[in-house]
């Protein structure tokens, strides 16, 4: 049983997929006009945890995430520049080149962080222009649209529940909007479905439509792509909390007006990442990317562990010190995972392991409680320290345990390799030296192994090695 906090109902709900055997899950993806920053990656890691939790809990899952390569304006609303055109100007390239380059970078980031979305489930906005036009046509036929100078708009007064997701106080918004940029709009909350290319400007990305040459709005993109790939009603729709008042509110209004069906059963929202307690921004120079993390010598998995330390509904605060702490914690976990190559693994009681992995999955099934799942995992420390040679479990029980844990959390624990044959011999020789009370030899071997990046620890069940 999986419980998730639904922003719409404001309570935790048990997930009951519409199609009993497969969960349909849509998350809002990156706008590919620049390198994703670590705040973006935080959100994507969190959705990957959901995907893994669904699958390890026995649900077949179809996870779709869009790639926004057109139509996302800098304001999130209907004014300002298209982010892709902005990127193109910045780099002296075409919007298409910008989209290609940053999409590729995004794909590499997915690999580096082991985000398991099926790579064929990452549709681009520009590949579904017809679907977006069709959806706008449907809305037009049903009387939800009107056209003004700069585009075709959705009339939010025609959708009764407008603003329900974020409890938006529309009257207040209307009152405060006297200086609204566009006085042709009927309601301050109305939003563009299709924007016309500006007169005398040839955009890199523009298409013909029944209303004129232009490009689709950002909100219609997600509705059209979700419906195209997952159907008219989906089980879970996710995004950052910034999407509650505008983007998701508008997705709901246009989708439900078009289909007369509920658009998504559950709405999940990930809270934001701050850096040193402040908002990420280019001008402050704190808009770090995954490349910055790697340049400072960290593994992307250190960042992933940092991300899992906070619950998705809470704000995460990034500092380089916090990342160092996450790296140390991951090293401890990696040392544990590397026990799978060592004789001690056989003496660890498999029922204890099963207990831990069961608890990890229970924590995740309870609204993706990753900090508590990690806390469960820490219990393994004492288990290992207390192990003696009295208990014997199945040969592969420990390996299966690590596989299960890494399957749920994705910390790259299985990417490590065994030490070499020669190193193993040295480990054995140290064991013998200790048995012979030849402390000098034992110390020499230990120092030699440390030089090679291998530490040794003596436990009740014998020596174990770990990578330092």
Q: From the list 7, 24, 31, 370, which residue makes contact with ligand AMP (rule: CB under 6 A)?
A: 31
Q: From the list 28, 54, 165, 419, which residue makes contact with Zn ion (rule: CB under 5 A)?
A: 28
Q: Is 217 in the site for ligand AMP (CB under 6 A)?
A: no
Of 28 and 64, CB closest to Zn ion: 28
- Least Å distance, CB 248 to Zn ion, is 7
Q: From the list 2, 4, 23, 39, which residue makes contact with ligand AMP (rule: CB under 6 A)?
A: 39
Of 31 and 299, CB closest to ligand AMP: 31
- Least Å distance, CB 302 to ligand AMP, is 18
Q: What is the DSSP string of 402-454?
A: HHHHHHHH---GGG--PPPHHHHHHHHHHHHHHHTT-HHHHHHHHHHHHHTTE
Task: Centre a 10 Å sphere on the Cβ of residue 384 and count the other Cβ atoms it contains.
Answer: 21
First to last CA, the chain: 39
- Least Å distance, CB 99 to ligand AMP, is 12
Phi, psi of 465 (to 5 degrees): -105, 155
| 447/456 Cα distance (integer angstroms) | 10
Q: Is 214 in the site for ligand AMP (CB under 6 A)?
A: no
Torsion from C-alpha of 353, 354, 357, 359, nearest 10 degrees:
-110
Q: Is 165 in the site for ligand AMP (CB under 6 A)?
A: no
433, HSE (Cβ side, Cα atoms, 13 Å): 16
Q: How many residues bind ligand AMP (CB under 6 A)?
A: 16
From 20-28, 146-154, 167-175, 303-311, span contacting Zn ion (CB under 5 A) = 20-28
Q: What is the DSSP string of 59-97?
A: -EEEEEE-BB-S--BTTSSSSS-BHHHHHHHHHTS-HHH
Contacted by 39, from Zn ion, ligand AMP, none: CB < 5 to 8 Å by type: ligand AMP
- Least Å distance, CB 39 to ligand AMP, is 3
> Is 4 strand, coil or helix?
strand
- Least Å distance, CB 351 to Zn ion, is 45
Q: Per-residue x/- marks for ligand AMP, 243-272, CB under 6 A?
A: x--------------------------x-x
Positions in the binding site for Zn ion (CB under 5 A) = 28, 222
């Amino acid at each position: 049983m999986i419980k998730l906090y639904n922003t719409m109902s404001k309570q935790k709900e048990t997930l009951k997929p519409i199609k009993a055997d497969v969960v349909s899950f849509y998350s809002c993806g990156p706008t590919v006009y620049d390198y994703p920053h670590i705040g973006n990656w935080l959100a994507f890691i969190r959705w990957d945890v959901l995907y893994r939790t669904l699958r390890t809990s026995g649900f077949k899952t179809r996870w779709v995430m869009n790639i926004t390569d057109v139509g996302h304006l800098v304001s999130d609303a209907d004014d300002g520049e298209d982010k892709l055109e902005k990127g193109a100007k910045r780099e002296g390239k075409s919007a298409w080149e910008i989209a290609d380059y940053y999409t590729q970078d995004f794909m590499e980031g997915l690999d580096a962080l082991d985000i398991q979305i099926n790579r064929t489930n990452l549709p681009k906005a520009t590949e579904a222009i017809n679907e977006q036009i069709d959806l706008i046509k449907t809305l037009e036929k049903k009387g939800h649209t009107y056209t003004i100078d700069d585009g075709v708009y959705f009339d939010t007064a025609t959708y009764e529940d407008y603003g329900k997701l974020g409890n938006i106080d529309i009257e207040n918004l209307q009152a405060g909007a006297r200086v609204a940029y566009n006085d042709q709009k009927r309601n301050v909350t109305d939003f563009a479905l299709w924007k016309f290319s500006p007169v005398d400007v040839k955009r890199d990305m523009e298409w013909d439509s029944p209303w004129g040459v232009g490009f689709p709005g950002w909100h219609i993109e997600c509705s059209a792509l979700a419906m195209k790939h997952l159907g008219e009603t989906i089980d879970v729709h996710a995004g950052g909390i910034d999407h509650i008042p505008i983007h998701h509110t508008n997705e709901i209004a246009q989708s439900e007006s078009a289909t007369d069906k509920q658009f998504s059963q559950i709405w999940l929202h990930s809270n934001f990442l701050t850096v040193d307690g402040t908002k990420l921004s280019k001008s402050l120079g704190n808009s770090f990317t995954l490349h910055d993390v790697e340049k400072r010598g960290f593994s992307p998995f250190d960042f992933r562990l940092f991300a899992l330390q906070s619950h998705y509904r809470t704000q995460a605060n990034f500092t380089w010190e916090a990342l160092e702490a996450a790296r140390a914690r991951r090293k401890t976990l990696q040392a544990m995972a590397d026990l799978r190559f060592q004789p001690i693994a056989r003496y660890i009681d498999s029922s204890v392991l099963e207990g831990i992995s069961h608890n990890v999955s229970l924590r995740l099934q309870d609204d993706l409680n990753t900090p508590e799942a990690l806390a469960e995992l820490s219990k393994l420390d004492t288990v290992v320290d207390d192990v003696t040679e009295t208990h014997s479990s199945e040969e592969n029980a420990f390996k299966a345990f690590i596989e299960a844990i890494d399957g749920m959390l994705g910390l790259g624990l299985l990417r490590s390799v065994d030490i070499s044959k020669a190193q193993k011999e040295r480990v054995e020789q140290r064991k013998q030296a200790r048995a012979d009370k030849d402390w000098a030899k034992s110390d020499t071997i230990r120092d030699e192994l440390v030089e090679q990046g291998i530490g040794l620890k003596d436990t009740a069940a014998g020596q174990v090695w770990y990578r330092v």
